[in-house]
Amino acid sequence: MRSPSAQPKRSTAASIRRLLSEAYPERWSFAAAIAVTLGAMLAGLAMPLLMRRIIDGPVASGDLTTLLWLSGLFLLAGAIEAGMFYLRRRIIATPVTMLEKRLRLRLFAHLQRLHLGFHDRWPSGQLLSRMGGDLSTIRRWLAMCLVFFVANGTVVITGLAILFYLSPVFGLIELVAMLPMVVISWIFEQKYKTVARRAQDQEGDLTTTIEESVQGLRVLKAFGRGKDRLKIFSAQARALRQSELHKAKLLALLWPLTMLLPEIALAVVLVDGGLQVAAGTLTLGTLVAAITICTYLDWPTRSIGWLLAESNETASAVERYYEFMDTEPSIVEPKRPKRPARPVRGLLRFEDVQFQYPGSDIPLLRGFDLELKPGETVALVGATGSGKSTAIGLVNRLYDVTGGRITLDGVDIRDLGLAELRTLVSMAFEEAVLFSASVRENVAMGSDRPVTDEEIEQALAVAQALDFVRELPAGLDTQIGEQGLSLSGGQRQRLALARAVLAKPPVLVLDDPLSALDVHTEAEVEAALRRVMVDGTALIVAHRPSTVLLADRVALLADGRITVLGTHQELLHSSPEYHRLLSTMEDDVEAEVAVP
């Protein structure tokens, strides 16, 4: 699956600015870190000067009276420098990591709230790579580069100013040598950022392959396709390596250039200065000072190459981050949520509902009309792929209708608070999703209120799950999900069902909830469900006559709408399509294997 990502739109500066606006609350910490870094540089500068004083003074003259005092000063400068080294990290550690954490949590929260359409579209690895790698890149930039960017910039500007003061010609030479850097940086940004972005996207795709290969491991093992998967993985890893090497190639051009330019300037200063000294227009001391400053500027100038690379990398990570953050959830809370009249009766109506998946040419639902009276149970029947699961996903707004409306007690569900709607409508999916938590927690998710063990046990009893849960090593406290005990498909489905019925919701929506159960258990679950569903309205997707029999009425979904509606017996006789869907095989088999 290709990621639907766009090419970079923003400039590096714009992305970095956006990141800095996030760091606004931490601005004083950053300022302090910069100040401390500059302080360390000053202390570092003071030490050789002090050393010279000691050698030229007490040591050369043989008068040791000031030696201790000056050495103490030297030690102090050394201690200050070391202290500043510590402080820079001490100051920055918490703010930077807290900022990273804030960005991470916000992304997680946002992703959880984004509509399913978004999740259908984006490969999982792209989500994970933003959450992991991209945020690490951002943290590294904030912790290292931001501070050095400012500190080194300050040093370069100060150094240049001093050079100009010493000799305008030297200043000019150094400045002219730095000018090409601007052009190089600009070209570099264009090229490097595109590659950096490509590499990050490829890393996301690689992560998708890793994720799927780990999660689909049973299938790969069953067919012995590990090697084929490895080939796909290797091809992607090779592409990523290619991009990384492309980046390296750019760096291998950029870094030597950023190294070379100040050196060439130094060579010119050396020769020109030497000639000036010879001509008597410059003192030797000034020349030595100028050269010293030039060598001092060496690292800050050279670091520009490194900072540029990191900044471009970070800018594209920031871009990727906001690509998600800027996606507005399309399923949103209404501006003024309406509250349905209490008690909620559970009158559920589909009115001329249309639904079309984004990117699909034909609408899946076209004029879907259905009314469920309060307390009624309706089974939704249709051929594989007819849109049954889609239709029920509309009821709690996992997707929004693209036309028509769905109402609950006469109120358009889009006018209800999202949380309230999802409390009123409880769901169980065909593929039972359990989380890494205890059985109790997994079932208790079905309710917003704190629930007692008794209620949980009741719900488990309805789903015929109580017996097996009791036999689990720690009963209700048994850890399940991926990090715990693995349960069979039928057991998972029953727990998901227990979760759905726990809160005795006014509207219960079940998507083929018994498909993984054996006949015996299915019959027992059905009997219990029938008792529970007396109060609430229920919509059940069904494939089997046994499940259909739970319902008061059956609706047949074909061609995107409800074509016939009635009881099971009525439809068996009146609708040939329904007959084809629900009776054929069992009748035939029954005829084949007659009971003696």
Site residues for other proteins, window 201-220 (CB under 8 A)?
A: 203, 207-208, 210-220
361-400 positions binding other proteins, by CB under 8 A = 361, 382-385, 388-389, 393, 396, 398
532-561 positions binding other proteins, by CB under 8 A = 543-546
Which stretch in 150-158, 235-243, 335-343, 567-575 sits in contact with other proteins by CB under 8 A? Answer: 235-243
* Strand order from edge to edge, sheet including 425-428: 425-428, 507-511, 537-541, 377-382, 553-558, 561-566
If the CB atoms of residues 13 and 187 are measured against other proteins, the closer one turns out to be 187
CB 488 within 8 A of CB 441: no
Count of C-beta atoms within a 10 Å radius of residue 275: 11
Residue 167 interacts with other proteins (CB under 8 A)?
no
Render the burial of 292-317: b for 16+ CB within 10 Å, e for the rest. ebbebbeebbbbbbbbbbbbbbbbbb
CB of 6 to other proteins, least distance (A): 19
Q: Given candidates 20, 150, 172, 237, which one binds other proteins under the rule CB under 8 A?
A: 237
Residue 564 interacts with other proteins (CB under 8 A)?
no
Q: Given candidates 31, 49, 109, 187, which one binds other proteins under the rule CB under 8 A?
A: 109
Identify the CA nearest to 357 among candidates 347, 345, 365, 367: 365
Residue 446 interacts with other proteins (CB under 8 A)?
yes
Q: Given candidates 162, 172, 230, 532, which one binds other proteins under the rule CB under 8 A?
A: 230
113-132 positions binding other proteins, by CB under 8 A = 113, 116, 119-121, 123-124, 127-129, 131-132
- Both tokens of 304, joined, read 């520009």
CB of 54 to other proteins, least distance (A): 6
If the CB atoms of residues 10 and 398 are measured against other proteins, the closer one turns out to be 398
CB 50 within 8 A of CB 58: no
If the CB atoms of residues 100 and 352 are measured against other proteins, the closer one turns out to be 100
Q: Is the dihedral of CA 220, 223, 225, 226 positive or negative?
A: positive
**What mask, x for binding other proteins by CB under 8 A, covers residues 464 to 483?**
----x------------xxx
Query: How remote is the C-alpha of 375 from its chain's centroid?
Result: 41
Identify the CA nearest to 553 among candidates 515, 397, 562, 389: 562
481-540 positions binding other proteins, by CB under 8 A = 481-483, 486, 488-491, 499, 512, 515-523
260-289 positions binding other proteins, by CB under 8 A = 260, 263-264, 266-268, 270-271, 274-275, 277-278, 284, 287-288
> 421 CB contacts (<8 Å, ≥6 apart)?
396, 397, 408, 413
Residue 104 interacts with other proteins (CB under 8 A)?
yes
Q: Which residues pair with 558 in a beta bridge?
A: 561
CB of 389 to other proteins, least distance (A): 6
Q: Given candidates 281, 410, 448, 527, which one binds other proteins under the rule CB under 8 A?
A: 448
- Both tokens of 250, joined, read 């750019």
If the CB atoms of residues 266 and 372 are measured against other proteins, the closer one turns out to be 266
Torsion-angle region of residue 481: left (phi > 0), alpha (psi -120 to 50) or beta? left
**What mask, x for binding other proteins by CB under 8 A, covers residues 39 to 78?**
--------xx--x--xx--xxx-x-x--xx--x--xx-xx
Residue 417 interacts with other proteins (CB under 8 A)?
no
If the CB atoms of residues 342 and 520 are measured against other proteins, the closer one turns out to be 520
Identify the CA nearest to 425 among candidates 351, 503, 528: 503
- Both tokens of 327, joined, read 């996606």
Residue 165 interacts with other proteins (CB under 8 A)?
no
Residue 576 interacts with other proteins (CB under 8 A)?
no
CB 563 within 8 A of CB 367: no
Does residue 343 have a cis bond before it (omega within 30 degrees)?
A: yes
> 508 CB contacts (<8 Å, ≥6 apart)?
425, 426, 500, 501, 533, 536, 537, 538, 539
Residue 353 interacts with other proteins (CB under 8 A)?
no
Which stretch in 145-153, 243-251, 552-560, 565-573 sits in contact with other proteins by CB under 8 A? Answer: 243-251
Percentages helix, strand, coil for the chain (3-state, rounded to 5) are: 65, 10, 25
Render the burial of 217-229: b for 16+ CB within 10 Å, e for the rest. eeebeeeeeeeeb
Any alpha helices (H) in 353-505, and if so which ranges?
A: 388-393, 418-424, 439-444, 453-462, 466-471, 489-502
- Both tokens of 417, joined, read 């608070």
Residue 575 interacts with other proteins (CB under 8 A)?
no
CB of 24 to other proteins, least distance (A): 19
> DSSP state, 227?
H
CB 500 within 8 A of CB 446: yes
If the CB atoms of residues 128 and 352 are measured against other proteins, the closer one turns out to be 128
- Rounded to 5 degrees, what are φ and ψ at 548? -60, -35
At 452 the three-state DSSP class reads coil
Residue 157 interacts with other proteins (CB under 8 A)?
no
If the CB atoms of residues 82 and 157 are measured against other proteins, the closer one turns out to be 82
Tell me how many residues contact other proteins (CB under 8 A).
178
Residue 176 interacts with other proteins (CB under 8 A)?
no
If the CB atoms of residues 425 and 476 are measured against other proteins, the closer one turns out to be 425
If the CB atoms of residues 162 and 277 are measured against other proteins, the closer one turns out to be 277
